[in-house]
Structure 1
Amino acid sequence: MRKYKQNHNFIEIYGAFLLSTTFVTYGYAQTPSIISSNHPKVPAHQDMHNGGTVSASAIRPARKPNANAASGKEGDSVQASGAELLGVVGHHLSHATASIITQTALARNVAGANPLQTLGQLPGVMFAGGDGQGLDIWTSQLYVRGFQSNQIGATLDGMPLGEQTFYNYNGLGITQAISPENIRTVSISQGAGAEDVAATSSLGGAISYASRDPAKKKGAEVSQTFGSYNMFRTFVRLDSGEIGPAKTRFYVSYARNDTNKWTGVGPQFQQVINAKLYQPIGESSHISAFFDYSDVDQMTYMPKSLEILNTVGQRPDYYYGTPNGYRDAYMAAEGNYMRGENRSNDPKDVSYYDGVNEVRDYMGGINYDFLLTNRLRLTGSIYGHRESFYTTWANPYTQDMVPAPNGAALSEDVTHTGIQRFGGTTNLAYNIAHHDINVGFWYENNHFNTEGNEYSEPVLGTGSPLNSWGPWNNPYATLYAQVFNTNTFVAHVSDTYSPVHGLKIHYGFRSLLNTTRVGALANYPDYTGASAIAGGDSLTTAKAFLPHINIDWNFRKHHELYFDFAENVRAFPVSTYGAAASPLVNSQQAYEEKGRNVQPETAWAYSIGYRYTSRYLTGSISAYRVDFHNRLQALSYNVTPTQFLSSVQNVGSVNMNGVDAALTFIPVHGLNIYNSISYNHATYAKNITSDGITYYSHGRQVVGYPSLMYKASASYSFHNAEVFINTSYIGRRNLSYGYTAQDPATSVPSYWLTNLGASYDFGRIGIMKNFRINFNVYNLTNVRYIGAMGVENFPLAGDQDTLQMGAPRMFYGGLRAQF
């Protein structure tokens, strides 16, 4: 055993908007020794998720508590001017702190793969997932220069996608919003700038997705992909072409992605419908309407601790779908273990029956782009979005917390959240003399509700287990229920001044006002550990002046020098109860004691960089510093031996310094060789104290993000054939924030991950155009590695079942054609 070292029905969209309308190093896995901790296990509601804003994405409700836990135009592909910076990633354009990934790059990945996988090849960016396509919504994580995805703003065609977390309380993930085949470009800006982005969480940067417009010529696009673990994906897109003298055009697409889990039993299914109507107005204006629908049904992967990996192995998963699965899970809940779980020091924590995520998203709206005069342009959008999200797991801790009325040892724990939001953005761009002036605002109203319920599973031998996919009616206990209403208003003003050729000086600021009010609808004290949960309270994030300055100087022919400085703020998040570092998702007592005076998180980011671009060589180096203040953390503390309460407190700052460097060499036509290296030194400024215990985190690297990353790729194109290979080295990552005398500091080992791909374009064959075949191998060297971390938060010290193994070697092949 390799050891791992510790150190549904369519719901109507809002009437409001409807009416408004190197080269490559082959991988290996390290085999370090084991360091374990024996921290106490406590009731499930007290595993405080999303413990700090430098921690994991918000997660599903905890299975059990941990006293140490902290809670352009259609068809236009943007072509690289000069060298193609990423041979394997594809076309990658850079300007100042921004990088652009084109559709050409996205198409090289496995069909339907998460676009964040491609972004993960950029220096300073790390993507981790639990499957080969990066589509499992629980195990997909993104870090950018030490900031996690819930600290990175995200928009699609200028519309906000909200915080990119598992429990996205004000938006949705990109793979739910649009099929990757319909994405034209992905732009990422690193730093706290991008003052015009419609986001309240852009502490560490912003990701902007732009969708493809309907084609001017009538046609169709079809692709079919097959892969390991019975994976198949079908994508069909129909374009109307220009219709009539008005030249109206539209497209409709459908994507279906089906696969089995690579460990355990169960399907991972997703289907996405996208539709877009485009109406040109004159020569330089247009209006478009869109509708997006997503259906995600995933039997997810069971998280593991380092101790579980070292004693039971990486393969144990939910018992669902296995012979005698319900019987064995039920008996394990009673303390009788049938599958060797007792090799673990907490065998019940390896003995879950099922875990499911079901999400339905509906989004629609109107985008507009009007040239009012030859100097003045008005752009913006009106949008609406609705989501229904169920996450479930069979709870073996029922007897200790919320006993089932039938006396069963298992119950089904079901969390349901809902989003209903609408809003709009408007931007005015004015050009005069050497100035490009931009003024705009964004408003959104978001209604978010969440509740946790328990449903009785049958006593063993008296019936079949509940259907893991629902429907969910008539719970025997409602554990908690809250409703949140948030109003957000963001305004920005900026000017880009070009005094001489090659020099641009950008200066501007944004103002943010975000107010959330919470209502408490239900509370089960034996579960929450509180006599009352937060209700009738509100929190406001208000920042009138958040400056951004950028200087970009293209001196001589191939040289660029830039400097960027910005301040930004993250509005107070909300989530399901106890699953965010927010006073509003905790007890009323915690809110009264500390919530009224808590300050929002802010970041000051500075970066300076140099870039050289020529036909044969492209290189860049960027140094940055970030001062991250008011880091909020959800901490748990004892009330009784079996009850834990959580509170949110300011646990200090993070001081971050780093360097990213990249080099692309094109020795001959068609051959691209790319290398990049990233170093990040991000440390906590002070220790953390919780429940009278000091956790020594001062000076320790932040959790989840490595100090060192190296990436390399090589691609070669000859006529219609292309082959590429890429590899990434992800350095050691800290699992725990710190250590105590009893519990050690823990970390997970480094790893190399290598991918291979090839394609051939046959051109026209009969009625088919651009008939293309492709072949991809994920994890070519079949290394065993830990991918996502902190899916159930990071421990303050010691170990915790919050890790996900990365997927093994997987093969994919596909066909694609246009008609």
Structure 2
Amino acid sequence: MRTANGVTNTTPGGGLMARQSAARSQSTITRDFIAKQSPTGNAIAMISALPGVISASTDPLGQSNTAMSIRGLQQAEIGFVYEGIPLNDSINYTPYTQAMVDTDNIQSVTVAQGAPDIGAPVYNDVGGLVTVALRDPLEKRGGSVDFSFGSKALQREFIRLDSGEIGRSRVKAFASFSSTTNDQWRGSGKFRKYHVDSKIIKEWGSGSSAGLTFSYDNWQQASYRPMTMAQWRQYGNSFNYTKEYYPGNTSWVGLHLYQRRSTAIIAPVKLKLSEHVSLDVTPAYMNYSEFYYGGVTLKNKGSYFGDQQIADLNLPYQTNGVTTASSINPVPQKSGFLNAVLTWKAGRNTFRAGYIYNYIALEEPIYYAAVNYTGGIANNYSKYMITMPDGRQYRTLDMNFKHQMNELFIDDTLKFLDDKLTVEAGLRYLMISRWNTNLIPGATRYKVGASYAQPLPQVSISYQITPHDQIYIDGTTAYRAPASVQVYGEVFSTTSPTPASRQASLKGEYSIGEEIGYRHYGLVNLSVSLFNYNITNNQITSSQYINGIPLPSPIEAGGKTSRGAQAEIGLRPWRHWSPYVSAQYLHATTDNNIASGLDYLPTKGKIAVQSPEFSAAAGISYDDGHIFGNFVFNYVSSQYSTLMNDEKIPGYETANMTLGYRMRSIGFAQHPQIQLNVINIGAKNYLSGFQSISNNAKATRGVYGTTIAGSSPLYLSAGGVAAVASLSTAF
């Protein structure tokens, strides 16, 4: 029976185990699974059942920022690609998957758990690669709608229109729009999101095409408050920003907001130049505008502008010489991108040569607006911000950042023994230049720059034992330039003449990895692999709050070794049933002691942070064309949050369930269906992930005998049970 949302019921494991042939560990989810998940979700939430993937969120609807890891490597170490362009934040490498594409329009998500594609247009993929593919325009004119309602007053509307082929032009297009609103999952506040996806494509000849993809997202929400272990134990999920305002209350939810507006324009061109030669060129432009808001109190007399103390700020709404203010951190990024690949096929040989270019411009300040006695933000964040006596805007950060990347790669693939044996080898050369200026007086250096260059070879061999069985081995290298603008700039506090965050001259992170694996495809499908990674200059992504705003704060963690095994098994649909199981064992350790002041913490041999020893998922899917549903259970063992292993989050279990009924066509409504998603079934009060990592939570004796003070990590608290009911149809 044909469906309206792309479900084919052909992918093993209920859509969780599409067939693979690449000589690396790789897993793909398809529409058979994606279409049955909550439409509010995102790509990171949907891949949490795949081997090695640990996904955490502050709400069960999948709307807020997520945190994930693969094989013990953080999301900032994982490359994300969407329609041929990098999906990660350009500097901090955060993957805003929920801001780029609606779930209704995702065709597939592929996770390469370790070895990245040599031609992937990213520069942070030491921990693997996630590729999100968009659903193409349909061949016939039509469309689809989806209306969803659920927990926390959720309302979501989605509509997609497909042109079909326009005349005989071989041109087809689609455009979609969605609107989502709901109450915050914890505490007070609202979530609101408007999103647009569209794509037009023109095909000609045999294999040539040109397209244009456009994505726009407008996302606003109140922030969720992270917590220490002590706060979680005392308050559980009830610990959040407060609902009521009073002067001096910097924990009021109205001061802790997040906004993001993003626009992406992608124009891929595929040219079949001859029978053996083709050229793929993808230019793109991305404009990301983020706003982080926090709360702070400002002294009218004695506040600091960099290293300069201000005699009198003449602040409004003072209480005992102090004014409550909103700290505002806009992060507008403009990025130009080009990816060009030339492919030559001759007999058993396929040769590729590529060039990738990326330019980023970012101007990042932190400024302040006064809050009146009833909680109103003075002047509604307008041009009348807090100013100094000389008329200049009062700021504690004023940076101008530029980034330029050039990458060249070559890759050659040879097939032998009747195409059973495939040997591939390649080399990419990555070159990055960055420079930054800081206008705040007292900065250590006004202008800071850095350049990085790294050759990255790869090799892999695979052998097709039978049409159903494959073995492979690969050796790869990967590199990530330091994350965070704060590596190059300094943020000042309002209360001190010295920087609250210091410039840090960090080296790039470099990894060498090896994998060996086996696959079998048939009624029962099996994939297993062993892996080993050695990482130098490991940089752990963390954050610190300065003037009420969370700012990235990378930790230099020296060397790291990760070893383990992963497996997944799935049944091809049999009598409408498709079970799936995945698991991973991981042993990841820190290789050396970590510097702390003039001493060292004895961290050598300790278990690496955010690296659960064991994780597993089990699911089952049923779909007879009318009645459908699935159930997925996840288990994640405990994870350390400090390099000294003196604090960790407990292991946890989660489960999601889908039930639905797909009807026959009724008039213009083609295959309407109703669907119920229940997320976080049986969810208890548990910590799902990390806001910040620390060296040690408790006071620790250093290698040379110094007592090194501890610092509490901050954690993300998971949401409770959520239910989403959806009514959808094609037309």
TM over 0.5: yes
Separation in 2, partners of 1:273, 1:534: 42
- After superposition, residues 70-469 of structure 1 pair within 5 angstroms as 84-87=11-14, 89=16, 91=18, 93=20, 95-96=22-23, 97-137=25-65, 140-163=66-89, 173-319=96-242, 322=243, 325-327=244-246, 330=247, 354-395=255-296, 405=315, 406=318, 407-458=321-372, 460=373, 463-466=374-377
Identify the residue that residue 597 of structure 2 maps to in structure 1.
691
Contact 2:397 2:491 in 1 (8 A): no
Residue aligned with 2:322, SS: coil
Identify the residue that residue 446 of structure 2 maps to in structure 1.
535
Q: How many residues align?
A: 686
Separation in 2, partners of 1:187, 1:584: 35
Residue 238 of structure 1 and its aligned partner are, at CA, apart by 0.8
Residue 88 of structure 1 and its aligned partner are, at CA, apart by 6.7
Residue 585 of structure 1 and its aligned partner are, at CA, apart by 5.1
Are 1:816 and 2:728 counterparts?
yes
Residue aligned with 1:150, SS: helix
Residue aligned with 1:309, SS: helix
Q: Find the partner of 1:601 among 500, 509, 519.
A: 509
Separation in 2, partners of 1:272, 1:636: 29
CA offsets 1:259-304 (integer angstroms, 9 cap, x no match): 1112111111111112212111223211011221110111121111
Residue aligned with 2:484, SS: coil
Identify the residue that residue 777 of structure 1 maps to in structure 2.
678
Identify the residue that residue 768 of structure 1 maps to in structure 2.
669
Separation in 1, partners of 2:526, 2:43: 24
Alpha-carbon distance change, 170 to 677 in structure 1, aligned in 2, over 3 angstroms: closer
Identify the residue that residue 341 of structure 1 maps to in structure 2.
none
Alpha-carbon distance change, 647 to 232 in structure 1, aligned in 2, over 3 angstroms: closer
Residue 415 of structure 1 and its aligned partner are, at CA, apart by 0.7
Q: Find the partner of 1:509 among 427, 443, 456.
A: 427
- The amino acid across from 1:623 in the alignment is L
Identify the residue that residue 461 of structure 2 maps to in structure 1.
551
Contact 1:90 1:106 in 2 (8 A): no
CA offsets 1:87-131 (integer angstroms, 9 cap, x no match): 374756564322222122211110131111121110101111111
Identify the residue that residue 697 of structure 2 maps to in structure 1.
797
- The amino acid across from 1:686 in the alignment is N
Residue 152 of structure 1 and its aligned partner are, at CA, apart by 1.0
More strand by share: 2
Contact 1:169 1:419 in 2 (8 A): no
Are 1:566 and 2:566 counterparts?
no
Residue 599 of structure 1 and its aligned partner are, at CA, apart by 2.5
Residue aligned with 2:267, SS: strand
Alpha-carbon distance change, 100 to 107 in structure 1, aligned in 2, over 3 angstroms: same
Separation in 1, partners of 2:17, 2:726: 19
- After superposition, residues 614-763 of structure 1 pair within 5 angstroms as 614-615=522-523, 617-632=524-539, 650-665=556-571, 668-738=574-644, 745-763=646-664
Residue aligned with 1:756, SS: strand
Residue aligned with 2:46, SS: helix
CA offsets 1:440-499 (integer angstroms, 9 cap, x no match): 1111111012111122223x4xx5421798456423420011111111011111111111
Residue aligned with 1:276, SS: strand
Separation in 2, partners of 1:221, 1:205: 34
Separation in 1, partners of 2:31, 2:383: 41
Contact 1:538 1:584 in 2 (8 A): no
Identify the residue that residue 707 of structure 2 maps to in structure 1.
none
Separation in 2, partners of 1:120, 1:622: 18
Separation in 2, partners of 1:693, 1:247: 68
Q: Any stretches of 5+ residues in structure 2 without a counterpart?
A: 305-309, 388-393, 545-550, 699-710
Separation in 1, partners of 2:553, 2:72: 25
Separation in 2, partners of 1:695, 1:247: 64
Separation in 1, partners of 2:713, 2:383: 27
- The amino acid across from 1:797 in the alignment is A
Separation in 2, partners of 1:470, 1:394: 13
Alpha-carbon distance change, 533 to 474 in structure 1, aligned in 2, over 3 angstroms: farther
- The amino acid across from 1:796 in the alignment is N
CA offsets 1:355-379 (integer angstroms, 9 cap, x no match): 1111111221311011111111111
CA offsets 1:749-805 (integer angstroms, 9 cap, x no match): 11110111112210311111121111110111132211121x244453246362121
Separation in 2, partners of 1:594, 1:360: 29
Contact 2:639 2:650 in 1 (8 A): yes
Residue aligned with 1:800, SS: coil
Contact 1:541 1:572 in 2 (8 A): no
Separation in 2, partners of 1:761, 1:85: 20
Residue 667 of structure 1 and its aligned partner are, at CA, apart by 8.8
CA offsets 1:540-562 (integer angstroms, 9 cap, x no match): 1101x211111121102322111
Alpha-carbon distance change, 353 to 240 in structure 1, aligned in 2, over 3 angstroms: closer
Contact 1:80 1:91 in 2 (8 A): no
- The amino acid across from 1:682 in the alignment is A
Alpha-carbon distance change, 481 to 497 in structure 1, aligned in 2, over 3 angstroms: same
Residue aligned with 1:326, SS: coil
**TM-score relative to the length of structure 1:** 0.78
- The amino acid across from 1:600 in the alignment is G
Separation in 1, partners of 2:543, 2:272: 55
Separation in 2, partners of 1:659, 1:735: 23
Alpha-carbon distance change, 88 to 286 in structure 1, aligned in 2, over 3 angstroms: closer
Identify the residue that residue 52 of structure 1 maps to in structure 2.
none
Residue aligned with 2:202, SS: strand
Are 1:485 and 2:402 counterparts?
yes
**TM-score relative to the length of structure 2:** 0.87
Residue 154 of structure 1 and its aligned partner are, at CA, apart by 1.4
Residue aligned with 1:680, SS: strand
CA offsets 1:181-206 (integer angstroms, 9 cap, x no match): 11222222122431100011011111
Alpha-carbon distance change, 235 to 366 in structure 1, aligned in 2, over 3 angstroms: same
Separation in 1, partners of 2:541, 2:150: 41
The sequence identity of aligned pairs, in percent, is: 20
Residue 314 of structure 1 and its aligned partner are, at CA, apart by 2.2
Separation in 2, partners of 1:121, 1:647: 30
Alpha-carbon distance change, 647 to 76 in structure 1, aligned in 2, over 3 angstroms: closer
Contact 1:85 1:91 in 2 (8 A): yes
CA offsets 1:586-641 (integer angstroms, 9 cap, x no match): 79999xx9956x421100011111112211x112211100001012469999xxxx
Residue aligned with 1:541, SS: strand
- The amino acid across from 2:528 in the alignment is I
Contact 1:737 1:797 in 2 (8 A): no
Alpha-carbon distance change, 633 to 705 in structure 1, aligned in 2, over 3 angstroms: closer
Alpha-carbon distance change, 258 to 594 in structure 1, aligned in 2, over 3 angstroms: closer
Contact 1:378 1:428 in 2 (8 A): yes
